[in-house]
Chain A
Amino acid sequence: MNDTAFDQELDCKGMNCPLPILKTKKQVDTMESGQVLKMVATDPGSINDMNAWTRRTGNELLSHNVDDGIYTFYIKKT
């Protein structure tokens, strides 16, 4: 689960809604199609929000997992 390859990493720990989404969007905009972003957050709302954001924008949420209050997302830019 944790060995997903990624190209860029974004730390959104401690940030609250809507900052993790806004920072993710900003970072993904700088990436090439097919690249993967690893985003780490502590906002419990980020699971629903990242799902909604990827569905809406057409980017792919490869996987997400929760470990001791840390939410890790792998997002593939389409």
Chain B
Amino acid sequence: MSDQKKMALIASQGTLDWAYPPFILASTAAAMDMEVQIFFTFYGLTLLKKDIKAKVAPATNPAMPMKMPFGPKGFQDFEWPMPNVLMGNMPGFETMATSLMKKTFKNKGVATIEELREICVESGVKLIGCQMTMDVFGFEKEEFIDGVDVGGAATFLEYAADADIQLFV
């Protein structure tokens, strides 16, 4: 298609909640016949690992609603008055919040991050790892899924300059 649209994304966050936007947008854009490239930098790099260990971080998300994914509707709709800033520092709270969020996503028919990433790869979304952050964090290309390319700011900017959509997540 000659009028094919292009999208350039930067994925800079590695928590479970922030892992969704880039993979949702990229897989959907590819389904809409767009060409897509995602540049993974800083904590976003962890989303390229073969085994994604993304968690939610309630301590830094004061607006995150605390809800239960099971029980009667009234119980599920209830927003627990937990101060995330305090609870987030309790040992085990992050793990609990993560499993509750995953359970809620599953109940609501939302795809997992792994599924969305798989669809992105299948549909030809180009994944670029930031070389500089890889050096800083000590990540090797071998730790990432197959097909990941490595580059720097110029690599992203060259693509973004010709893209119709550019988003920083």
Residues on A lying within 8 angstroms of B by beta carbon are: 14-19, 21-22, 24-25, 43, 52-53, 56-57
Q: Which residues of B contact A17 (CB under 8 A)?
A: 24, 110
* Stretch in contact with the other chain, from B28-36, B48-56, B57-65: B28-36
Main secondary structure of the interface of A (DSSP, over half): helix
- Residues A56 and B24 in contact in the complex (CB < 8 Å), given A19-B109, A22-B119: no
A57 touches B28 (CB 8 A): no
**Inside 8 A of B28's CB, which chain A residues have their CB?**
18, 21-22
A25 close to B109 (CB less than 8 A): no
Query: What range describes how many residues of B lie at the interface?
Result: 10 to 19
What separation, in Å, do the CA atoms of A24 and B32 have in the docked complex? 11
From B27, B28, B110, B119, name the one whose CB has the most chain A CB atoms within 10 angstroms. Answer: B28
Q: Does B73 contact A (CB under 8 A)?
A: no
